[in-house]
Structure 1
Amino acid sequence: MNLDVFLSLFSLMLISLAVFLLSKKLKLPYTVLLVIAGSLLVPISHLEVFSFITSFELTPELLFFVFLPILIFESAYNMNIRNLTENIYSIGSLAVVGLLISVLFIGIAGSYVFEIAGFPVPILALLLFGAIISSTDPVAVLALFKEYGAPQRLTLIFEGESLFNDATSFAAFLVALDLMTKGYHGSESAIGALISFSTMLGGGIVFGLIMGFIFAKLIEKVHGNEHLEITLTLLVAHFTFILTEVISEHLVIAGQEIRLSSIIATLIASMVIGNFGRYKMSPDVEEYMEKFWGYFAFVTNSLVFILMGLLFANLAIDLNVAIWPILLAIGTVVVGRALSVYPILWLLNLTGKERPIPRNWMHLLAWGSLRGSLAIVMVLLIPDDLTIEGWTLNYSVKQFIAAVTIGSIYFTLLVKATTIGKVMHALGIDALTGMEQVGYHKSKAQIYDKTLHKLDALLQDQQLTQKQYDRLKQRYESLYQIACLECKNAIGESDTLIENMLRTYALGIQKEELKDIFLRGEIEEKTYKKITNMLSIQTERIKRGQQQIVSVNEHFPIDSLERFVLLVSRLAFWRDHSFKDEELYRYYRALSKISGKVVKELNAVEDSSLSAVFDDKTALEKLLSLYKNIQQNTHEKMLAVIHKNEELLSQVNEASAAQSLAVLQEDTLDKLHKNEIITSKLYIMLRHELEQKSH
């Protein structure tokens, strides 16, 4: 039996890979084909030779305690908290208020719809269904958003809503399930439900912050040990999730059972690690983390969606009986989603709390609301023997909710997911902005210019004949000229486009140089975060078409979230975040280096392929002058710090030299081992010696 389970697991993974390759050829969403494949596996499993396929099943424990934390961590780890807080009103409104509107509409209006259609379903059962089906799943739709070119802010709003409404949905599900099992007793039950809902979300946020900062501190403590750092990220997802559930089972205050949301606790802890803990990781681990968790999320989603298809095909209710309730449920859910999007975002636009959300974005948010794994988790958590007063249908409450839930999921995957691209195009959401059009042609020009240089090298190395070289040279020279011409046409008479492109180019240079400085150990974590904050603000200004930096002394304040994190860090770890003389010197030196790098690159623009694109001399000279002033200004501040502490320069230079030499020695040793010049035994010995010297 155990062998059948393992054989089933790995067979499903193999089938998932085949489905992935097929989805690329058919240009259909991967998750959609997985569900279809899962459904088709059921009749195949009836053959004796393939009977093992259904041995591996979705269980509540597997989904809830293994798969769900992985999916939450992978999404939350890559979410930028700064961007999230800038759109917190729209995300929060959709994830909490919008979801509750959807749940109540499905419960109340749905009961009338089903009653009229001849399917009398109690309101509590439909409220439970509403809590299950109202959360949106980001997996399939985000892949499509990126493929079809949805705006970054729209993608962020949808992803943020999808993450946070998972927690809201599950809290509402537990409240509804509690009302069904204990019964509704008027205002007492309503007040209790509201308190329970609030403590789940609020308590989950607080506990998630605590766990996130604890694990961030642990990652800092084991810095340099890659295996321990990766293990801690695995633990922060699953340990936070499970510990929250354990606390919820035993926490009682004033005779009241207090539940915390394990989903939101894991979500918040993961975001803390992704935005603050990642700076404490070793450079190699930090670069590897996204690939590591991306792989886990890929495998998890593959198994969840293919097993979802198996689950649907094995429904206990005959499809002939369930088809009408499913269609009624789909219609009610679609209307409920619309009511949870349009009024809320319309009111938010009126308040002016955030940048206005266009109407075509609202249309896509309403249509692109796919459902997925969390809904299945909640269905499986419903007790098989759940009963409710007034239930008269021929099948159980769980069978009914399972049928309408999976039917609704199928509708979103087979109808909504396959039409999102066309809907986006019809709404004009995939249209390129002026900056994107220029960037598109500029990138093509750079690609073809690099290709021309490569052709010269291939001819010199005698890898091409003169005839082949001439033919390819003529072709790519023509493509290069066309790309340059199209870039100039896209810029047109605009005075700001070329300057914004240059500023974007300069900020990219600064970010790359700053990352290298940080990885070499020349600056501390807080210095890196402070400068990164400055560069991020400037990048956002360009995207919004706002006034750019014009003064070397411009102040970039940290946001409220960063101030909160610093406060927590001081209270929890007694850490002083003020800049000492040595750190201040390194801060100004880093600013001087990255601005100097920009000056060097801008000076080289006229002699490179970019001269055909950035041919606005006025804009180039304006930006070059600004960065020269910044470099001069920061250099003067460096000298002022040195003048204040004359021994500082000697100390910093010695420490920097030691750090640079240590990095060089480690890199040299790694290359010797990788190229098999030394044995693993020698590598371990020498690595140990270097580590002892560094300490």
Structure 2
Amino acid sequence: MDYFAIASILIVLSALFSYINVKFLKLPITIGLMLITIVFTVVVVAIGQFDDTLLQSEKELISQIDFKTVLLDIMLSFLLFAGALHTNFNQLKIQRGPVLAFATLGVITSTFLVGVLTYYLFIAFDYKVDFIYCLLFGALISPTDPIAVLGILKKVGAPKNLEAKIVGESLFNDGVGVVVFLTVFSIAKAPNVDVEVSEILKLFGVEVLGGIGLGLLLGYITYKLMRSIDNYEVEVIITLATVMGGSLLAHKLHMSAPLAMVTAGLIVGHDTVRSSAMSEVTEAYVDKFWELVDVLLNAMLFIMIGMEMLVLTFELNYIIAGLIAVPLVLLSRYVSLWLPIKFYAKKLQFIPKTNLIMTWGGLRGGISIALALTLTQDMQRELFLVMTYIIVVISIIGQGLTVEPIIKRITNRQD
């Protein structure tokens, strides 16, 4: 099956499932599409017990999609630019201290805590897994997924300062999380080779700081080009070129493309840039174009996540481990956020139970699955892949459906 056929099938399914969601379920797109896709896949599996034609076709489709490459190297840059473009820059600037602390200290602390807890979980079940592999699992599951978070928060109506913290953290912590994952991965891949601290700092500097620096440059160039003309068609193409060309350049320079796109998107979406570089017509077209890209890619992504269950090895002990890991991951996130929140609570206005809301609202998504797919068989790939999938599904459907009433209940009490 060629790429055009795969893309066509995914878009057709996206249109069909999106219609069903809007017409009948009326759920946020991320939740609705994942739920519909999982139900659809379960029905296909049930039918496959009598006639496996459709089941084999779906398996063939999902097996030919390189989920890691499609998400991390292609989709993520578009989705992050679109998300950053519509993020409240002024609120993010105010909350920059806690956002950076959550995205760095929070991710590192959560990685260690998840690693330790899962290691002792396996010991309790007399299942031998090396600690370094548990730490690797902690690294891939700790970053919150900006795609899932942004999709849910659009309909939640959270206070602006709280939304800035959650969205800001999710936009930046995936880049940091990938660096942490790659560092632990290099140690796990060659356990007998010493990893120098200088190498880790260099990797962090090139990936994270280099990515942010490249994003600043791309954003500035985009701003200057858009300011020099008044043609909405060309200006939309310029923003598209920024994402595609910028991502390609970031990969060539071994910099973080996601962080570059977040930074560029924040600059292009800044109120000052909008007012000085875009006419009202251009602004409307740029916003609508990237909203459409966001919706389409989100739809395709969460359909792929739902269909991934067909290629997983669902052994009973894997499922049990995944279910037990859900509260362990939530506990680790709660603890990892405690210190930054405690430190900044006196300096900035934090609503009551911010930690609880951010813990429950910190959804996991496709990024964790993509990172899990890079594990080798020696690293307990099938075990951690199933655990990750279970956590992601429960996170998006379970937490995603309940985060809105939790936020409203807490904020209403405050009022």
TM score, norm. by length of structure 1: 0.54
Partner of residue 291, structure 2: 294
Q: Which amino acid aligns with 1:40?
A: V
Q: Which amino acid aligns with 1:238?
A: M
Does structure 2 conserve the Cα–Cα contact (< 8 Å) formed by 1:11 and 1:53?
no
Paired residue for 2:361, among 356, 365, 368?
Answer: 368
Instruction: Give the match's secondary structure for 2:353.
Output: helix
Paired residue for 1:151, among 159, 176, 179?
Answer: 159
Partner of residue 30, structure 2: 31
Distance 1:147 1:38, change over 3 A: closer
Instruction: Give the match's secondary structure for 1:342.
Output: helix
Partner of residue 357, structure 1: 350
Residue 319 of structure 1 deviates from its aligned partner by: 3.6
Paired residue for 1:108, among 94, 113, 116?
Answer: 116
Partner of residue 324, structure 1: 320
Q: For 1:279-315, what per-residue CA distance to the aligned partner results, in whole angstroms no more than 9, with x for missing partners?
A: 3134311122111111111111111111101102331
Counterpart-to-counterpart distance in 1, 2:154 and 2:232: 31
Residue 270 of structure 1 deviates from its aligned partner by: 1.7
Does structure 1 conserve the Cα–Cα contact (< 8 Å) formed by 2:26 and 2:32?
no
Partner of residue 378, structure 2: 387
Paired residue for 1:225, among 226, 231, 238?
Answer: 231
RMSD of aligned residue pairs (Cα, Å): 2.5
Q: For 1:529-572, what per-residue CA distance to the aligned partner results, in whole angstroms no more than 9, with x for missing partners?
A: xxxxxxxxxxxxxxxxxxxxxxxxxxxxxxxxxxxxxxxxxxxx
Does structure 1 conserve the Cα–Cα contact (< 8 Å) formed by 2:10 and 2:303?
no
Paired residue for 1:209, among 216, 219, 224?
Answer: 216
Partner of residue 5, structure 1: 6
Residue 423 of structure 1 deviates from its aligned partner by: 2.0
Counterpart-to-counterpart distance in 1, 2:192 and 2:335: 26
- Percentage of identical aligned residues: 24
Gaps of 5+ in 2: none
Partner of residue 370, structure 2: 377
Q: Which amino acid aligns with 1:287?
A: A
Partner of residue 264, structure 1: 259
Partner of residue 417, structure 1: 400
Paired residue for 2:281, among 280, 284, 292?
Answer: 284
Residue 386 of structure 1 deviates from its aligned partner by: 5.0
Paired residue for 1:87, among 70, 87, 95?
Answer: 95
Does 1:41 pair with 2:26?
no
Does structure 2 conserve the Cα–Cα contact (< 8 Å) formed by 1:244 and 1:265?
yes
Q: Which amino acid aligns with 1:41?
A: F
Instruction: Give the match's secondary structure for 2:269.
Output: helix
Q: Which amino acid aligns with 2:246?
A: T
Q: For 1:208-247, what per-residue CA distance to the aligned partner results, in whole angstroms no more than 9, with x for missing partners?
A: 11222122222234x1233221111011112212211111
Aligned residues: 403
Partner of residue 595, structure 1: none
Counterpart-to-counterpart distance in 2, 1:34 and 1:108: 34
Does structure 1 conserve the Cα–Cα contact (< 8 Å) formed by 2:77 and 2:257?
no
Does structure 2 conserve the Cα–Cα contact (< 8 Å) formed by 1:38 and 1:310?
yes
Residue 83 of structure 1 deviates from its aligned partner by: 2.0
Distance 1:386 1:318, change over 3 A: closer
Counterpart-to-counterpart distance in 1, 2:171 and 2:57: 35
TM score, norm. by length of structure 2: 0.89
Residue 117 of structure 1 deviates from its aligned partner by: 2.3
Q: Which amino acid aligns with 2:263?
A: I
Q: For 1:462-486, what per-residue CA distance to the aligned partner results, in whole angstroms no more than 9, with x for missing partners?
A: xxxxxxxxxxxxxxxxxxxxxxxxx
Counterpart-to-counterpart distance in 1, 2:8 and 2:209: 43
Does 1:192 pair with 2:199?
yes
Does structure 2 conserve the Cα–Cα contact (< 8 Å) formed by 1:4 and 1:52?
no
Give the number of the structure whose alpha-carbon radius of gyration is greater.
1
Paired residue for 2:83, among 59, 65, 75?
Answer: 75
Paired residue for 2:344, among 343, 348, 351?
Answer: 348
Residue 81 of structure 1 deviates from its aligned partner by: 2.8
Does 1:131 pair with 2:126?
no
Residue 105 of structure 1 deviates from its aligned partner by: 0.9
Does structure 2 conserve the Cα–Cα contact (< 8 Å) formed by 1:208 and 1:269?
yes
Does structure 2 conserve the Cα–Cα contact (< 8 Å) formed by 1:142 and 1:155?
no
Counterpart-to-counterpart distance in 2, 1:55 and 1:313: 10
Residue 33 of structure 1 deviates from its aligned partner by: 2.8
Paired residue for 2:268, among 267, 273, 297?
Answer: 273
Residue 160 of structure 1 deviates from its aligned partner by: 0.4
Partner of residue 462, structure 1: none
Does structure 2 conserve the Cα–Cα contact (< 8 Å) formed by 1:136 and 1:370?
yes
